[in-house]
Structure 1
Amino acid sequence: MVRSRTIWATAALLTATLGAAAVPANAAPVTATRTAAACATGWGSLDKTYFAGTSTPLTNVRTGRHDCYDRFVIDVPGAGSGELGFSVGYVDELYQDGSGRPIHVGGGAILEVRVNAPSYDPETGTPTYPGRVAQPLPGVNLTGYRTFQDTRYAGSFEGVTQFGLGVRARLPFQVQRLADHLVVDVAHTW
């Protein structure tokens, strides 16, 4: 009985040793580990604000899917990055500026995005963006997105345009001011 246990223990040890030796030392790590390392953002979920304003109107809103995050882009052609102010943060409910009207946004969390640019021509009052208050954003299809679940237009009041972005959960995000664009990236995971 003792001898058969010794034989089995020796065979198990030999198999484990040979199995480990069969994997090259420079082999790539397991895919899940690679993905997690490649998606490290360090962004956080606290409010992000930059104080500036432009009279240049926004013209479009679009989204994009990436390996580690979903992207929300507001196009403000002609606005330099230093002129484009914003306020982005999680809220319990989205309220329309001016009226205080609540706007339902689907998802596990609501990210309110305000860009300090009107959605109309300030000289004529003519709309430059076709959004309708409390409605999903025109031309934005979130099918297949991992983080984004809903989008809502909340209007433009006193030169500030407001959006609600419904996300799966309160996840880390970053905001980038680029010439002609405000970009909000929301990570798929922590």
Structure 2
Amino acid sequence: MLQSRTICATVVLLGATLVTAAVPAVAAPPAAPATAAACSTGWGSGDKAATAATTASVRDVRTGRHDCYDRMVVDVPGAARGDLGHVVRYVDRLHQDGSGRHVPVSGGAILEVRVTAPAYDPETGAATLPARAGGVLPGVDLTGYRTFRDARFAGSFEGDTQIGLGVRGRLPFRVLQFDGRLVIDVAHTWTGAAR
């Protein structure tokens, strides 16, 4: 009796194996191809400006990476959105306001970022942005950025702060104003696709 149970169990196991082998595997549906994020290309590369002024001071400059663009933010706490005058434009060479001294900026193109806010306290003259004229912006590390190559503090003269932003090439950009900050986004490409 014991022997016949063992034989029956072996036949059942072999039968289950044959049935399993005979059932075709069900293929998973093919994955949808990955699509690149669509990016705006309507920004252009022409000068962007707004007339206004503030007595609030530039306190920080920081950068960030995004799928479609690299971003620079100039922090001016206390400035209202409409008070942040600016001129952002491509230049062949960056020249420091007041002295006219050339400030070298690396990259295929140079964006001059001029904000109508001092990088010092207007009452005391004490620096509010710990940067040296002609030096790299403190705390800004552009390692791994697709578009940004260099960021230099040109100086702050008569209430204007001037920054040189080295980029890979003459690419489209936009300027956004918010309470307490000015944002400069430079696209990775002209084609409108993230890569």
TM-score interval (norm. to shorter): 0.7 to 0.9
List structure 1 segments (4+ residues) > 6 angstroms apart after TM superposition: none
1:74-96 CA distance string (max 9 Å, x none): 00000001111000000000000
| Corresponding residue of 1:3 | none
SS in 2 for 1:82: helix
1:130-189 CA distance string (max 9 Å, x none): 010111100000000000000100000000000000000000000001000000000000
1:49-94 CA distance string (max 9 Å, x none): 0000001111000000000100000000000011110000000000
| Corresponding residue of 2:114 | 114
Is 1:65 equivalent to 2:65 in the alignment?
yes
How far apart are the structure 2 equivalents of 1:137 and 1:187? 21
Is 1:172 equivalent to 2:172 in the alignment?
yes
How far apart are the structure 2 equivalents of 1:155 and 1:167? 19
Superposition TM-score, scaled by structure 2 size: 0.80
| Corresponding residue of 1:51 | 51
CA RMSD of aligned residues (A): 1.4
How far apart are the structure 2 equivalents of 1:48 and 1:101? 24
1:18-37 aligned within 5 A: 28=32, 30-31=33-34, 34-35=35-36
How far apart are the structure 1 equivalents of 2:137 and 2:51? 25
User: How far did residue 39 of structure 1 move?
Assistant: 1.5
Count of residue correspondences: 162
SS in 1 for 2:182: strand
Is 1:102 equivalent to 2:99 in the alignment?
no
| Corresponding residue of 2:123 | 123
Larger Rg: 2
Superposition TM-score, scaled by structure 1 size: 0.82
